[in-house]
Structure 1
Amino acid sequence: MSNDVQEQEVGAEVVTSAGATIDEYLETMRLKFENLCRDLNMDLETESKAFKILKEVLKHYSLEGEILHWFCCALFVACRQSTTPTVGGQNAVVMGNCVPLNNLLRSCQMSIYEFKKKIKLWCDMANMPQTFVLQMEELERKFSITFTIYKKYRDISDQIYSCPPNEKKHSKYSTKCSYIKLDDICWRLFLCAKNQKPTTTLDLVTSYNLMMCCIDLIYANVLAEKRTDLINPKFEGLPPNWNSPDFDETQARNHCILAYFCEMADEAKEMKAGVFRKIMDSFFQTNIVVGNEHTLLDLISNKNYERNLKSLNISYEQYVLSVGELDERILGAYQQDSSEHSNLNEQALRQPVTPLTRKQDLPAQPVMSEQKFEPVANATNNVKELSTAVSHITEPTDFVKQAGEPAIAKMLKIIKEMEEQFLAKFPMRSETHNRFQLAKSLYFYLFDHILRAEIKTKPHIVQKISLDIFNMTLMACCTELVLEAYNTELKFPWILECFSINAFQFHKIIEIVVRHGSHGTHEGCLTRSLVKHLNSIEETCLERLTWTRNSPIWDMIDNASKPLPTWSDVTADKAAGQLQIFLRKVFLLGWLRISKLCSELNLDEKKPDKIWTIFEHSITHKTHLMKDRHLDQIIMCAIYIYIRVTKMEEPKFSDIMRAYRNQPQAVNSVYREVLISVNEHGEYVLKDIIHFYNYTYVPEMKKFCINYLDKSEDNVNLLMSPHPTERTMVPKKLTHNHSLYVTQMSKNEMQQSPGQVVYVIRSSPAKRLDLMNKIVLGSGKRVLDFADTTVNPIDQKRQRLEQ
């Protein structure tokens, strides 16, 4: 078969132009677009830029639905890409072209929910750079955090306040602060406070605590003003004598309701006395609010409340115009009409998806798992679980200290250096010490558990205390877990950049941390969502971060025998090196994703096996295809080349991409921005995955695929490579010091060993359970000795910690 024919048979389809009718279509909508721009008072330069983007998109796509919504997307992108210098200094600029997103949405008759959906599609169609896509994700996440906080705000407000029944009737004649205006003042105080110190609200827990500080302050003002008409008398957090004549301002100022709504009350009180007090002091100094600067009272008095509400509104409007973000004051309208926005919810804060790998190692679902995911409660629970389990540990345990002073001193020196790095790079300076201290406590906890477990089979494990990379990766992993628990905006791999750790070294610590920190053990401190997070970032390392051109994996590959070992080779019962263990994980991940995609594409059960063989060949023989690329790019190409060589009419490449978007790890940059080459200036040339498939992947893989799959050839029946199989569900260990497990068993599996005691629920007699209790409670605790050398030689081959 000639090369030309082969190229034709395996090449991918390319999207073509919409045709000649595009000019007529553009003319019919130009007037509508211009009218919209006049309504928004849009400058001509931005209008021209937006229409140019719109025309370019229309060359390749049909814009379905309300055209005004697509106008909104085009104008928003054009506005975000323009900056306006201000009088604030040389580097002071205004983002968003002074056109608030809310104005755009209002003029285009578009809800926030619709905008969030459409702008993602627009970024894809307009081929926006990844930096802009990340900006949109940040914008969505910020608003989602505020939306989540607002729902909590509404709930708390309903608990502590009561709207006077005749307020609407008499509000226009009243000189007192009404229930509605009180609500507005409190919410605007929070919005201005979080924007005054943006780095103090990088995570969900801190944002919630800041919101509670605002509620607590305004509530103290309501008590001090003796506004009993606004107070809900059923709220259990009321002071005992709140409605008595002798209740004074001092009692109101000293009353605190944080403990009633914050599970992490001490942290909230610390914020109230520190960060929040400084914010309020700055508000008084700049006249954003007026009242008693020392007591922080008199904010809603008859003489001040109108002025403070107006001033807070002006301050917030200036911020929104300067950054081009959503005006979050509009959330107040949602309580009147929640139906339109019922789907908005906290989509950027939804429950973490479950990665495909190691599902069997996840801790059990919480008892109330069927309830709706609640981001604030989840984040608070994660922090609380960690704090309860480890915060009392402030230094290496006595067990670890047996390694000797030199080893411990080296460990602590590494941690101190990492703390300084964290302090220099973590933007929430006021929270730096607290975050790192919790991470350090978790490190000491995990190190103790790892050492106790590993020393049973590896007495030389003590040497690990002195290994820099082991200490660094474990400490980095603990810090990542703390940041995730707080739901911070600093997402992985920020932690690798912070501590200058490469992904290949980091990924090796994750399985160890999951094994010794999960609730699968008796004293596990990691919740199910945190274990999911660890599994997810391990997949991120395996799919792309370890394949960057500066990764140490390439030196290992260069020094390894060629071709690289297959799945069969790396699963043999022998001691494996670092490269073999790495490939074992990559192969398993690749097979799970191939299986998932083939299932989505309705490919029959035989096809995934053959696609797997193509994928495995690319990893073992054409490994350079992975350099600076993504595992999913190679998987999608393997599926499509199989389809083309076997002359299947469907699915198309677009179908594969559509199915890919349903995978938990999917991001559109995987198929939109694929490395093609590196130019002479060291710059990456990126194009879409179809270009990569046609001009890079096919030339490398066509010969193997045609020889392997072409039915006209004699070798059509070549054996398929065996693919990975994930471990089956293992029994869950219920105790820390004893071998007590719960598992599903068939009758012929029972009593397989003489010393085994089995209790079958609803079947075994109660005395069998009593016997098990005596065994568990009666045995003494074994004290491990660092000099213990009674190790099974076979176990010494295991490389869990060395690799």
Structure 2
Amino acid sequence: MDGAEIEEVYEESQDLKPAAHFEVSTSSEVRAEDEVLSYPHEIPPPDDGFLHVCAAIDPNMPDDLKDNVWAQVCMMLEKVDLDDETIAYVACAFYCVMLEMEKFQQKPFSYSMLTILKICSVSVIEFFDKLSRWVQIATSSKKIIDQSHKIESSLSVSFVIFKKLLPIFRSLFQFVGSDSDSSFDSNDLFATIWLMTIIMKKSLPAEDLITSFHLLLCVVEWVYKDLCFHGCEEHIEPESVNTMMESKDGVRVLEVLCRSFDGVLLDAKHFRTHWFNQKRETILPCLDHKDLNIAANHKQYLTSLNSIYQDIMLRKGELDERMFLPEDAANVFDAALDSSAIELLRRGSTDSRFADAELLLTMSTQNCLERLAEVKRSPVRSDAKSYVISSQQLRPLGPITQIDASATSLQRLNPIVPSDYKLEGSALQRYCLQTKDNPLSVLELNSYMLGERFVERVAAECSDREELYDPSISHSPDEHRKAMTMLFYVLVEHIVLGERKQNPERDFQGLLRKEEFLSAVFCCAMELVLFVQESERAFPWCLEVCGLPAISFQKIIEVVIRNETQLTREMARHLNKLEERVLEELAWTHGSPLWTMLSRKPNSVPTCEEAWGNPKTTLVVSPNKRMRYEVDSNNMPQKRLPPCSAQMSFFSKLYYLASLRLTDICERIRVDDRGRRMMWTLLEYILKEERSLFTDRHLDQNLLCIVYVVCKANKADVSFVDIMSHYRNQPQARSHIYRSVRVDSSICPSNGTSRREGVSSGDSSAASSQQLRSHSAVGPSPEKPVSLDGSVPIAVPTTPEPQSTASGHHVDLIVYYNKVFLPRVEEFMRDLSENSTLASLTPMPARRIPLGTPLKRSLSDKVTVVPYSQMSYMQRDTNTIRYRISQSPSRDFRAINRLLSKNRPLYRIAGAPEVNPPLGYRIVI
């Protein structure tokens, strides 16, 4: 690519014009690290416009700050032509310079960024837009880039919380005007609530949307109760009083707010008890927490709160979120403005800071969550929605067509099932006719019996209910049965033909007669029909109809996705979520065939190294050994693994799932390498020696206990509540996972350890046990366990040992940890902490990135960076000369030139083929 092409791409991607020219020193005698950009002129003195801005900000602005900002502006002017946008980049320069000079030096900002933006007449959205370009063009440090993302995310959360506050405020309070300067009006009340909220939000462990919303509800409840206690009837909405006083227990503000404004009551109560009530005195020392009395002390409170927030804002280098406060609180009570907080802010005041409301159009809730995910989570994963999706399961994007609501199941399954598909004359029938014992009758009988079960089950459910349940399925079960049968034949056909290509010598006649295989395929067809019809019958309803164990269904999912190339992305993603559900929970239920499989022989559970095909031995390969690689049609090296059983495949996926979830939590709570190795060693120990801990329980329940017990053993300052708070950021997290854990009936929060599940070693010391015990509390447990679809499942007999039939009940995760989990692993953890070296611990496996799907990170709409494809070991040269532009000395570059001249042929005989001598070095620039 020549210079003209580079300039063209640069103009298109950055929407900026390149500067006229700049000169680079080309002297070969100067060391590369001493070479700098040589501008055609020295930095000019500040112009009048820049000096006017500085004077407006502060007439006594320090000269070093002024000079550094001007130098940054001049540097940008040399790189690009800013046209009329120079003033916006002056604001960016102030921000970056204050970050480098003050925040990164643990000093507060000298000036508010919102004040600078107002003086520069730059809207907030324009500032963020120019700042993102600034950090790219100026090649700013990672600290500046991260900080710019952080302040934008914080402002996004605050905007969403502000929109939530408007209807809440109007439902609880009524408008009170100002009679005098000393009176307590609605403006003061609204400002007090908002200031308390944004101050406490800055002290949250993570400024996520859900926690911030619960914080807002707690603040509103606190203020509302205070006004009611001190008889401020003029501020209280009369209609809200009757609602709040429905119970004899007193004012139920938080419950009513959660019910009316989509809050999670248990999480809100837990947050209020374990964070809000404990932290508010420390964060807000200016308030009288014994008797708040806002009406009498509002002037003093507002002065102190503004001072505290001003200090926090300057210390964190963030934008002033007081910009959301309207000048006239009467606009809050205008119900016509509910649909748009933008219009509300525009009407709040004619002040120029409310012109920044245009930025809020781009800060919707979804955009807010996406930006938070980019900042809070490391690095962006291709499997953020499903932890088990692989590169073979990705589907190309096809044309998006709107499906008619009246379309039949077969029409919705196109192009998987062609409209003219018939079993007679199909490839499946031809294959069956070629076998010694035609299995076609077995296929037809199996599909008929399972189809009959489906129709009978739907009819029975409709007769048991007064109103029609799931009308999309219940209206025409025979039609859906036909669609399932046709899809069943298509899936079997594609599986047999696809696998036959891979194994031409294999006879699939026995497979086509195997009831487990046929039932699993039909169950998969049934689930896909229910999915495209958006049925209310959620998984594992299809397993109950077919009488199929969950682990048998899990075996067929990868086979179906691999061989059915016409599955849409949504279908493949849905099947992967079902496989994840089986791996984490359904495969471990009492009575699962998994327990029979594991009881057949000792050491039946493989280690992660064994399940993954001994990866350690393939990471480093000696040149003298033959490499176990094959080349596919795309000439990409593919690792050839030995064949594995269904059991090996199950544990391979289970280990992968556990490693992703553990790694995510470890990154969030910053666990070191030794702690991660201890967690993984403990997980393998439990699976091999104490696997009954998984019976009738969720994988994540044991993973959270593993994380906590290792943190306690290493004396890390992490509570169980903190771990669960970070866990809730994972896509599969549900509150019932840590609020409802199945235990033996002898376990209850008040009794001792279970005689059957909690057998502790007799020689364990009481001090050690107390050290590892958790003293946190999850909060009130739900009365009944709740499934993922919100239904209340029927109680199933459970026990830690699969052979037992004793019933059990549910407790929260911390009770399970103290009463059941800790006694079973306490002795092993003691040995692991005291007697294990780092080398003896099993390392946590790294996330596998398939060669065919490199992670991509888009920097803009037109520029994408992808990882450079790695060469195979045999293609790598042993001798390499590396040269880093602007870092390596110039003598290295001269050595490269000599090497190239040395290996260039001096002459070539006419008519003879040119023979290039093998280079002894590989040059990397």
More helix by share: 1
> Given the two structures, how large is their TM-score scaled by the length of structure 2?
0.42
What TM-score results when the alignment is normalised by the length of structure 1?
Answer: 0.48
Question: Larger relative CO (CA 8 A, sep 6+): 1 or 2?
Answer: 1
